[in-house]
A and B are shown apart, each in its own frame.
Chain A
């Protein structure tokens, strides 16, 4: 196929366009239209002959229109001649488009724009916290309603979610905590051995796992595994107006969708924490035996001396609160999803990041609290 052209014609102040003016020739066409052939300013009328144009599509028609408009800006009167009948409709249509100048975005001062971003982010912190508190309140209210009218609690849904976030999470939770217990023991033995204190590895593993690591690791894993799923589920329900549908049927989405999920999480997390802690102790004991040469009998005997039920209590008491925070964050973020796929991804990420952050903050607050009451 030959190249499109736009060149000075035989008679003065005339142009001749020819060849295919289509998107396939976009590169050369755009160059042609940009290099506006200069017209003698004495002549007012510019005649553009397009009878030689073989093919014309929207792109070609628009570039032709652009050439005409630019001549008009130079106070010339361009006219098209030799328009083949089949292009007439398209050219007329294109003649009417892009008439309004694009709205120019006002140039912003970089400093004020930066300050504005900081201000908005700070204000967003308050609204975020507001959403979290509102969700906690809504969960509390619907829990209260369920206590008054136990039949209104969605038992089937709760059990189903318990199965998903509890039972199905057991293998991965046990595996990860087992490995972490083993790693802590190995590191302990390696470093304590330098000053002959490798027997104290048992104290370290026992206290660390039961008080802190067990519940923390399990909470973080549940936030990543189940919290993200909650946000994504509720978010896609929000996107497809399922939540609005529930509302219009006079049903409270919190008591139908959120409460069963949160209750399931609150039941599952202590169980998972217990299983995880046991797996971590098992992993620690195994490493102490294989790597540190400490027989299981001695490990268990030392463990009995080192840890008390208090340590176990401290760990397990925290679990339901962690679950509540994860559930409330996940569900409130899910409800904040807007129409787009991008917003779903954004809220799911926010949900996981926020719940992990809050879990760690909460753990710190508990540490202060337990220290002050002497546990």
Chain B
């Protein structure tokens, strides 16, 4: 089931990552196709965030290869990584907005660093991005500490989208949001994905997000991807961990199989 590399946004092959004697990822392979929303599920502490951080180059892999938009990554070469880094935007779990800059300045930061454009255009673009993620231009003058949880996520998403990346990594985008904000955020991701043609790699525990926005879901267990496919395929999977994930007491009331 090897797919041609042109259609792959991210291709991970035989990836192993560990800390000390502990092996977190063990020969993991995963493909993310261009233009899809892939959800990654896994046990808490099971290596989901490690996988994400390895792909974006924050954790060095022990073995294996990772290709982004068809280009092999070399995490030792910081210049090459800067180039590859322009392909992606990252929404960290806590937002990771720069606390000493206003929201507007936070969104402008990647543009100011990478593009040579006038301040007027910077302002207009930042406001445009803020409005696209559903914030008002007035929110742009606030500092991150003055934002609510949902607004922080939206502002962080606006910053992740600042350079019009092809791939967006979302680390638990809806965690800590109330169900209304969470479903709004899901809808936002879905619209943005369609309008901007994004590839979205989403680490999530939110079964609603998996059902509504994800095209495919990958399940991570024991350092490997044990199942990838549409949500229906995972729900009917025979793998014991995947089964218990989608058929526990909380999941049963939500998964599509129970409708």
Q: Is the CB of A26 within 8 A of B197?
A: no
Known: A22-B164, A97-B132, A340-B100. A90 touches B143 (CB 8 A): no
Known: A26-B116, A59-B125, A59-B164. A90 touches B195 (CB 8 A): yes
Q: Which of A82-120 contact B (CB under 8 A)?
A: 86, 89-90, 92-94, 96-98, 100, 102-103
Query: Is B118 among interface residues, defined by CB-CB distance under 8 A?
Result: yes
Q: Is the CB of A90 within 8 A of B196?
A: yes
Known: A26-B117, A341-B100. A57 touches B128 (CB 8 A): no
Q: Is the CB of B125 within 8 A of A58?
A: yes
User: Using Cβ atoms and an 8 Å threshold, which residues of chain A touch B197?
Assistant: 86
Q: Is the CB of A30 within 8 A of B121?
A: yes
Known: A58-B129, A340-B143. A102 touches B137 (CB 8 A): yes
- Interface flags, B111-134, vs A, CB<8A=1, else 0: 100111110010111011101100
- Interface flags, A36-65, vs B, CB<8A=1, else 0: 000000000000000000000111001100
User: Using Cβ atoms and an 8 Å threshold, which residues of chain A touch B161?
Assistant: 58
- Interface flags, A116-149, vs B, CB<8A=1, else 0: 0000000000000000000000000000000000
What is the bound-complex CA distance between A341 and B194, given in angstroms? Answer: 36
Query: Is B163 among interface residues, defined by CB-CB distance under 8 A?
Result: yes
Q: Is the CB of B115 within 8 A of A23?
A: yes
Q: Is the CB of A66 within 8 A of B124?
A: yes
Q: Identify whether the interface residues of B are mostly helix, strand, loop, or mixed.
A: helix
Count residues on chain A whose CB falls below 8 Å from chain B CBs.
28
Query: Is B99 among interface residues, defined by CB-CB distance under 8 A?
Result: yes
Q: Is the CB of A89 within 8 A of B164?
A: no
Query: Is B145 among interface residues, defined by CB-CB distance under 8 A?
Result: yes
Q: Is the CB of A339 within 8 A of B143?
A: yes
Min C-beta distance of B19 to chain A, whole Å:
25
Known: A57-B164, A58-B196, A90-B196. A339 touches B132 (CB 8 A): no
User: Using Cβ atoms and an 8 Å threshold, which residues of chain B touch A97?
Assistant: 127-128, 131-132
Query: Is A338 among interface residues, defined by CB-CB distance under 8 A?
Result: yes
Closest to B161 in A: A58
Min C-beta distance of B86 to chain A, whole Å:
9
User: Using Cβ atoms and an 8 Å threshold, which residues of chain A touch B144?
Assistant: 339-340
Known: A23-B164, A342-B100. A93 touches B137 (CB 8 A): no
Query: Is B72 among interface residues, defined by CB-CB distance under 8 A?
Result: no
Query: Is A27 among interface residues, defined by CB-CB distance under 8 A?
Result: yes
Query: Is B232 among interface residues, defined by CB-CB distance under 8 A?
Result: no
User: Using Cβ atoms and an 8 Å threshold, which residues of chain A touch B116?
Assistant: 26-27
What is the bound-complex CA distance between A103 and B164, given in angstroms? Answer: 27
Q: Which of A283-313 contact B (CB under 8 A)?
A: none
Query: Is B14 among interface residues, defined by CB-CB distance under 8 A?
Result: no
Q: Is the CB of B99 within 8 A of A341?
A: yes
The residue from A30, A94, A339 contacting B128, defined by CB atoms under 8 A apart: A94
Q: Identify whether the interface residues of A are mostly helix, strand, loop, or mixed.
A: helix
User: Using Cβ atoms and an 8 Å threshold, which residues of chain A touch B127?
Assistant: 97-98, 102
User: Using Cβ atoms and an 8 Å threshold, which residues of chain B touch A27?
Assistant: 116-117
User: Using Cβ atoms and an 8 Å threshold, which residues of chain B touch A63?
Assistant: 121
Closest to B138 in A: A103
Most buried by A among B111, B137, B138, B164: B164
What is the bound-complex CA distance between A94 and B143, given in angstroms? Answer: 25
User: Using Cβ atoms and an 8 Å threshold, which residues of chain A touch B164?
Assistant: 22-23, 57-59
- Interface flags, A324-361, vs B, CB<8A=1, else 0: 00000000000000111110000000000000000000
Min C-beta distance of B255 to chain A, whole Å:
30
Query: Is B178 among interface residues, defined by CB-CB distance under 8 A?
Result: no
User: Using Cβ atoms and an 8 Å threshold, which residues of chain B touch A62?
Assistant: 124-125, 128
The residue from A59, A102, A339 contacting B145, defined by CB atoms under 8 A apart: A339
What is the bound-complex CA distance between A100 and B139, given in angstroms? Answer: 13
- Interface flags, B71-102, vs A, CB<8A=1, else 0: 00000000000000000000000000001100
- Interface flags, A2-44, vs B, CB<8A=1, else 0: 0000000000000000000011001100100000000000000
What is the bound-complex CA distance between A18 and B196, given in angstroms? Answer: 19
What is the bound-complex CA distance between A59 and B117, given in angstroms? Answer: 10
What is the bound-complex CA distance between A22 and B114, given in angstroms? Answer: 13
Known: A102-B137, A339-B99. A57 touches B131 (CB 8 A): no
User: Using Cβ atoms and an 8 Å threshold, which residues of chain A touch B121?
Assistant: 26, 30, 59, 63
What is the bound-complex CA distance between A321 and B195, given in angstroms? Answer: 66
Min C-beta distance of A33 to chain B, whole Å:
9
What is the bound-complex CA distance between A342 and B97, given in angstroms? Answer: 13
Min C-beta distance of A62 to chain B, whole Å:
5
Q: Is the CB of A26 within 8 A of B195?
A: no
Known: A23-B163, A340-B100. A100 touches B196 (CB 8 A): no
Closest to B100 in A: A342
Known: A26-B117, A58-B196, A339-B143. A98 touches B128 (CB 8 A): yes
Known: A97-B131, A102-B123. A340 touches B99 (CB 8 A): yes
Q: Is the CB of A89 within 8 A of B195?
A: yes
Known: A30-B118, A93-B132, A93-B195. A340 touches B145 (CB 8 A): yes
Q: Which of A149-175 contact B (CB under 8 A)?
A: none
What is the bound-complex CA distance between A102 and B136, given in angstroms? Answer: 11
Q: Which of B184-216 contact A (CB under 8 A)?
A: 191, 194-197
Residues of A that sit less than 8 Å from B by CB: 22-23, 26-27, 30, 57-59, 62-63, 66, 86, 89-90, 92-94, 96-98, 100, 102-103, 338-342
| Residue contacts A-B, CB under 8 angstroms, 22 given | A23-B111, A23-B163, A26-B116, A26-B121, A27-B117, A57-B196, A58-B125, A59-B115, A62-B124, A66-B124, A86-B197, A93-B132, A93-B191, A97-B128, A98-B128, A103-B138, A338-B145, A339-B99, A339-B144, A341-B100, A342-B99, A342-B100
4 interchain residue pairs of minimum CB distance: A339-B145, A342-B100, A340-B99, A57-B164
